[in-house]
Amino acid sequence: MIEFRNFTKPRNVPPSATPDAAQAIGFIAAVALLFFYLGFPLQAGLGQGGLLLSEWLLLFLPALLFVRVAGFGVRETFSLRRPEGTEVAGGLLLIAGAMPLGWFLAWAQGFVLPVPWDILEGLEDLVTAEGPPGFLWLLVLLALTPAICEEAVFRGVLLAGIRGRSSTVRVAVVNGLLFGAFHISFESTFRFLPTAWLGFILAWAVLSTRSIWVGVLMHFVNNGSIVLITSVPALRSWLEGGGDAPPWVLLPLALLAVTGGLRLLR
């Protein structure tokens, strides 16, 4: 366990305080610069190892240091409340429905913003495992690590700074837009809409439950499902059987799941 006793907390900041909107957005901007100037070179030079290091060293660690050095309450800022069973079930139902809806959004966006298939094929190669050991490694790299590190930044520090400034929906929209913007580059703008949709759903769930653990679980399920689908040939063939369009049978099931999840979370 890391000890922070040598850091001096500002006396004028109460221990239960959370960042304000300006501080939270400023932190996001600083992390984005870190990721651009250090994270991308790390990933280019070290591949998957660089991706792992950039998530933990440039997202999770700065979030933890920011909160502790500034004297904000760790539990309050990161929403470390233990969720109830119905909230966990609601979160799982919500993400089960949100995933195919995000797929439909990405498909519809393709009529306006064509998908660069060479980049998409490269992303598919990244999330496709060869054998059980590779599958477990990708779950750690692409599901567990982002579920912890990215949630600490976006549904932790950022959400703590902007929640209460407006309605739950508006706060979740802002959180989702910034989450989507963080994940795009000049070559991957096609990822913005589905990623912003995921950020919106995760923010809404954490705001509703006051528990980041619900967001961590939902994020893990979302990313882990992608690894599972691309790594199991039977699942991949079934989902690609209809061509570019998602299987339409998923749409009513997704709407039912989202409705059930919203009711449980409320």
pLDDT of residue 184: 86
Residue 258 pLDDT exceeds 70: yes
Retrieve residue 139's tokens. Answer: 């779950």
Residues in the chain: 266
pLDDT of residue 131: 87
Whole-model pTM?
Answer: 0.90
Residue 149 pLDDT exceeds 90: yes
Amino acid, res. 240: E
C-alpha 158/C-alpha 152 separation (Å) is 9
C-alpha 14/C-alpha 119 separation (Å) is 47
Residue 243 pLDDT grade (very low, low, confident, very high; cuts 50, 70, 90): low
C-alpha 257/C-alpha 90 separation (Å) is 9
Residue 236 pLDDT grade (very low, low, confident, very high; cuts 50, 70, 90): confident
Domain membership flag for residue 63: no
Residue 138 pLDDT exceeds 80: yes
Domain membership flag for residue 113: yes
Residue 11 pLDDT exceeds 50: no
Q: How many percent of the chain have pLDDT more than 90?
A: 70
- What's 211's DSSP letter? B
Q: Let me know: does 190 contact 115? Beta carbons within 8 Å.
A: yes
The CA dihedral of 202, 175, 106, 253, to the nearest 10 degrees, is 30
Residue 119 pLDDT exceeds 80: no
Full residue range of the structural domain in which residue 178 is found:
79-265
pLDDT of residue 102: 95
Q: Let me know: does 179 contact 152? Beta carbons within 8 Å.
A: no
Residue 3 pLDDT exceeds 50: no
- What's 83's DSSP letter? P
Domain membership flag for residue 4: no
Domain membership flag for residue 106: yes
Domain membership flag for residue 87: yes
* Mean pLDDT along residues 74-78: 97
57-66, 122-131, 249-258, range with the lowest pLDDT:
122-131
Total tally of structural domains belonging to the chain: 1
Domain membership flag for residue 100: yes
Domain membership flag for residue 167: yes
C-alpha 65/C-alpha 7 separation (Å) is 10
Q: Let me know: does 15 contact 73? Beta carbons within 8 Å.
A: yes
Residue 34 pLDDT grade (very low, low, confident, very high; cuts 50, 70, 90): very high
For residue 253, what is the enclosing H or E element? Answer: helix 250-265
Residue 260 pLDDT exceeds 50: yes
Domain membership flag for residue 254: yes
Residue 233 pLDDT grade (very low, low, confident, very high; cuts 50, 70, 90): confident
Residue 179's contacts (CB-CB under 8 Å, 6 or more residues apart) are 150, 154, 195, 196, 198, 199, 202, 203
Average pLDDT in the chain:
89
Residue 242 pLDDT exceeds 60: no
